[in-house]
A and B are shown apart, each in its own frame.
Chain A
């Protein structure tokens, strides 16, 4: 991640506070917010994608092997994926 110059001086600011870098919010890792994290049991997973579609963060992606994982840099530990998972393949585990 590129180191951002912050805080900016007044003349360094983007005129009109326009942000030109789309989706640079990715620089902020909301994963530090979570008190619990999801863990997948691939033996139960049916690769339906429900966890992916219901994640408010949009941080669950499908890997090469077809199984799903949350990007823990962004996962806030809300528990929706675990609650919605049909076969019960996702367990919420306390963050240490």
Chain B
């Protein structure tokens, strides 16, 4: 049994009871991504419009003539969740200003997977964030192009076996480290950027609520467990989500106005093996390879701690502190 610190035991009962993504959707048993979607929608409430990219979440929820959505929802293609969302945001803004729709805040939320955010969708995301639309972009990262058959993406962690980066005689699986799109978003000057995991539901939902309040762009990168693609048992989905945070592989933090803050403190990082062992996609890794991954994790984690401890909020930096003597 795992004792989860920083978790208010009875808080789940205070959460909005309504299911905005209804049961009857076609996600796999134990899908972490649809859980993230469900929790995100509870935090968002009914006054949203969701612009969804092609991917697992779109497919499992919208097979004509059915929809699992209780909120307005639109899907067009794979790489344009951010530009579709930009158009939705601009449309709602213009219609509200011209009094063609009621004068009420409606949040535009663009949702895409790791493919639709980090790879094919990166251009649209960058453009939308730079233009400063009042839009929340949520990346549901299950670390591969799962819906099309588990092909690798730039979100696939080093060493993971996917169908286009399989482990073999001369390959260890994915050769490169996970692309840090969260940092790319901070570099765009996005006022609120955060990482999240549905295994820490209240942390996730609080971040969504905070992001909603931003009158401008916001970005949340949500790590979601995929038992089908990761070859893990469906019942340990939540546990794996906790392990990825406790081992430091996916730290949960937020960057508000440039100020970094860890939102889930981990006193001592667990060895990465604890996270890798239950997943079939890492089964082929040798101890040397695991050691290399462990070192890289320490490095990335320390990079983050450097930022948490060293960087100021952007608004604090407006003054001439005589820094440039």
Consider the complex of A and B and state whether they touch directly, i.e. have CB atoms less than 8 Å apart.
Answer: yes
Number of interface residues of A (CB under 8 A): 46
In B1-56, which residues have CB < 8 Å from any A CB? 1, 9-13, 15, 17, 19, 21-32, 34-35, 38-39
Query: Which of the candidate stretches B155-163, B230-238, B301-309 sits at the interface with the other chain?
Result: B230-238
Interface size class of B (residues with CB under 8 A): 35 or more
User: Within 8 Å CB of A52, what residues of B?
Assistant: 12-13
Q: How far is the CA of A50 from the CA of B7 in the complex (A)?
A: 11
Q: Give the docked Cα–Cα distance between A84 and B11 (Å).
A: 15
Q: Does A48 contact B (CB under 8 A)?
A: yes
Which residues of B lie under 8 Å from residue A92 when comparing CB positions? 235
Give per-residue flags for A1-30: 1 if the beta carbon is below 8 A from chain B beta carbons, else 0.
Answer: 000101010000010010101111111111
Stretch touching chain A among B57-65, B173-181, B264-272, B283-291: B57-65
> Is there contact, CB below 8 Å, between A58 and B38?
yes
12 examples of A-B residue contacts, CB within 8 angstroms: A21-B67, A23-B67, A25-B66, A25-B67, A27-B24, A52-B12, A53-B12, A54-B238, A56-B32, A57-B25, A78-B235, A80-B30
Also in contact, A56 and B66, with CB within 8 A (given A30-B26, A74-B23, A86-B1): no
**A56-B30, A80-B30 are contacts. A28–B238 as well, Cβ < 8 Å?**
no
Q: Identify A78's interface contact among B10, B11, B24, B29, CB under 8 A.
A: B29
Given the interface contacts A26-B23, A74-B24, A79-B30, does A53 sit within 8 Å of B239 by beta carbon?
Answer: no
Contact status B24-A80, CB under 8 Å: no
- Asked if A83 lies at the interface with its beta carbon under 8 angstroms from chain B, I say yes
Total number of A-B contacts with CB less than 8 angstroms?
127
**B68 CB within 8 Å of chain A:** yes
Distance to closest chain B CB from A26 (angstroms): 4
0 or 1 for each of B219-256: is its CB under 8 Å from A? (1 = yes):
00000000100000111111100000000000000000
CB contact between A54 and one of B10, B27, B35, B64 (< 8 Å): that residue:
B35
Q: Contacts of B26 on A, CB cut-off 8 Å?
A: 28, 30
Whether B67 contacts A24 by the Cβ 8 Å rule is yes
New contact pairs (14) apart from A19-B64, A56-B32, A71-B23, CB-CB < 8 Å: A14-B64, A22-B70, A23-B70, A47-B13, A48-B9, A55-B35, A56-B34, A62-B13, A76-B28, A78-B237, A79-B233, A83-B238, A84-B239, A86-B1
